[in-house]
Structure 1
């Protein structure tokens, strides 16, 4: 299964210079937040596959202008062709805005998922906006990651963890790919295409 992961900045390659052929072979689109809802609707219209999303810390406008034709996976496990996808959007609380959470808030959100996690026997892809604590995050509070994401990976061992929020343009050391235990970690900034079954993922993303 070929997945297009996106976050934080609309891709001019896809939006401004669109050609339908650029989306050929894509089986699923996953947004990790902070993207124009019209951009997501545009992709949903032209790629004819599910477009899933979580909220970033700048996505308050989704309340009034939700991405049309897209699927909100916040606080739920969405199953696509047998692949279980868990969505937990938002960032660390830093200004009191919507989609911002303390570590305790995020732990409470995860705790409320116990029945879904039991029923689905875990999940295969964790989709968030913020990264995990000390795993591709930054030390300033707005860009600090959540410790509970590490716990989720340790307990359920998903194949992938997709996040955004920490732009790869921030500094030259920001990584597209990392690994935590058995989980492939991908920073979905702007756009990244990967194959769910790829055994040599690191070579194709770095």
Structure 2
């Protein structure tokens, strides 16, 4: 499976007239937040591939439309009555959700937002993030029974604590994500939030059975064992 991953800043290689030829072979797009919805809309209309996203702590103008009064939808071969898609947008909001994408046999869970550092939107204390994770447990256990694994990808905005995060309060990672990886063994945790000034800087960390990748700006995730019947333990 090949996934175009994006976060935090628009990439001129993605936001270009050559996007359709450059990324014609991707199976899906994953977005870790802090990007305008118009950017997502452009990518979806150009590639005609599913896009799964969470919100970060910036570009939150439409956050309320995704987190309240959600309406049932059916899209990309699955149904989830707790999710909502803007009529003209088409991306799938997975923040606080667990989604099964039947076409690729891919399970994606999402926990967006950043550590609480002021009174801004979509910020959480460690306890609040842990409680958000607990709400996902029934669906994760269901996946284990039905699909043989809990989840393939955990999509977050913030990093896990001590794995590519920073020391200031805003960019501090969540220990909840460490617990999630220990309990549910995703193959990948994909996050943004930590801007890479040096694009050659290390994006990768490993925790237990999970590869942790900072997908700042853009990153191509290619794994033939991901989706289509992958087994993560």
TM-score (norm 1): 0.90
Separation of aligned partners in 2, 1:116 and 1:63:
23
Instruction: Identify the residue that residue 98 of structure 2 maps to in structure 1.
Output: 77
Most deviating of 18-27 and 30-39:
18-27
1:195 aligns with 2:222: yes
Most deviating of 70-79 and 26-35:
70-79
Task: State the superposition RMSD in angstroms.
Answer: 1.9
Instruction: Identify the residue that residue 155 of structure 1 maps to in structure 2.
Output: 183
Shift of 1:58: 0.4
Separation of aligned partners in 2, 1:62 and 1:47:
23
Separation of aligned partners in 2, 1:17 and 1:8:
21
Write the deviation string for residues 21-67 of structure 1: whole angstroms up to 9, x where unpaired. 01111001000000011000100111111011000100311237868
Instruction: Identify the residue that residue 12 of structure 1 maps to in structure 2.
Output: 12
Instruction: Identify the residue that residue 27 of structure 1 maps to in structure 2.
Output: 27
1:177 aligns with 2:204: yes
Instruction: Identify the residue that residue 142 of structure 1 maps to in structure 2.
Output: 170
Separation of aligned partners in 2, 1:195 and 1:46:
20
Separation of aligned partners in 1, 2:31 and 2:157:
9
Write the deviation string for residues 147-196 of structure 1: whole angstroms up to 9, x where unpaired. 01001101111110100000111x68852111112111110100000213
Most deviating of 11-20 and 106-115:
11-20
Shift of 1:12: 0.9
Segments of 4+ moved more than 3 angstroms: 16-19, 63-67, 171-174
1:30-179 correspondence to structure 2 within 5 Å: 30-63=30-63, 68-80=89-101, 81-121=104-144, 122-169=150-197, 174-179=201-206
Q: Is the 8 A contact 2:23 2:47 kept in 1?
A: yes
What SS does the corresponding residue of 2:131 show, helix, strand or coil? helix
Matched pairs, number: 198
Most deviating of 60-69 and 116-125:
60-69
What SS does the corresponding residue of 2:22 show, helix, strand or coil? helix
What SS does the corresponding residue of 1:185 show, helix, strand or coil? strand
Instruction: Identify the residue that residue 204 of structure 1 maps to in structure 2.
Output: none
Write the deviation string for residues 96-120 of structure 1: whole angstroms up to 9, x where unpaired. 1111000000011011112111111
Separation of aligned partners in 1, 2:206 and 2:9:
23
TM-score (norm 2): 0.80
Separation of aligned partners in 1, 2:51 and 2:156:
15
Gap change, CA 1:193 and 1:95, over 3 Å in 2: same
Structure 2 portions without partners, runs of 5+: 66-85, 145-149, 227-233
Structure 1 portions without partners, runs of 5+: 200-206
Gap change, CA 1:173 and 1:144, over 3 Å in 2: farther
